Amino acid sequence: MEIEQPPREKPYEKREGERRGLIIVNTGDGKGKSTAAFGLALRAHGRGKPVHIYQFMKVPSARFGEHRTFEQLGVPIEGLGDGFSWKSQDLERSAALAREGWERARKTIMAGEHFLVVLDEITYPLIYGWMPLEPVLETLANRPPHVHVVLTGRRCPPEIIALADTVTEMTKVKHAFEAGVPAQRGIED
């Protein structure tokens, strides 16, 4: 490791542009996409801002760690799916649930009552062809100007990336699962 000197001056100038709602994308094969989105949700909630979280691949009855915490905090978090595709008994049903879930999320975004709307794992129903991309792009482009939207998932469509204000690609360097360590409650859930 090379030691470096900490900056002695601010490395950027203060921005003077208008504050507005952002489209934020967390994508890539590395871990942390949903975790980062949930961190933003906690930050916004901590500032008294209304937040709504939609999870496109989780079942409505899911009780993962994030569900327990957000429920305790009074932050709505909704599972819209029936689990990941390899667990699904009926992919047509999965597709229908994604489309129905999108309609709920779209209405929430367009109502403008929430400061932040998280669309967790939305890339999967898009890349699987379960729901069309155009209505998502249209909603993001025409949402009320104060609404921030975070989208997560691998292989985010380039059209969404082009529309986004901030895009972070999580890059996997190594992962414990590849070394034979199973998923662990409190880390992967």
C-alpha torsion angle, residues 156, 162, 165, 166 (rounded to 10):
40
> Can you give the C-alpha Rg of the chain in angstroms?
18
pLDDT of amino acid 29: 95
Could you list the residue range(s) of the whole structural domain that residue 34 is in?
21-169
- Report if residue 183 sits inside a domain: no
Q: How far apart are CA 82 and CA 84, in angstroms?
A: 7
Domains contained in the chain, number: 1
SS (H, E, C) 39-74: HHHHHHHHCCCCEEEEECCCCCCCCCHHHHHHHHHC
Show the CA angle centred on residue 52, arms to residues 70 and 162, nearest 5°: 125
Task: Identify the band that residue 126 occupies on the pLDDT scale cut at 50, 70 and 90.
Answer: very high
- Report if residue 89 sits inside a domain: yes
Q: Any idea what the CATH number is for the domain that residue 138 is in?
A: 3.40.50.300
Q: How far apart are CA 154 and CA 33, in angstroms?
A: 9
- Report if residue 13 sits inside a domain: no
Q: Which residues pair with 79 in a beta bridge?
A: 55
pTM for the full model? 0.92
Is 26:151 a contact under the CB 8 Å cutoff? yes
Mean pLDDT of the 85-99 span? 84
- Report if residue 147 sits inside a domain: yes
- Report if residue 174 sits inside a domain: no
- Report if residue 27 sits inside a domain: yes
**Which backbone phi and psi does 150 adopt, to 5 degrees?**
-110, 130
- Report if residue 143 sits inside a domain: yes
Tokens of 173: 């360097």
Nearest-CA neighbor of 164 among 134, 137, 146, 124? Answer: 137
pLDDT exceeds 80 at position 2: yes
pLDDT of amino acid 183: 80
- Report if residue 187 sits inside a domain: no
Mean pLDDT of the 14-41 span? 94
pLDDT of amino acid 85: 63
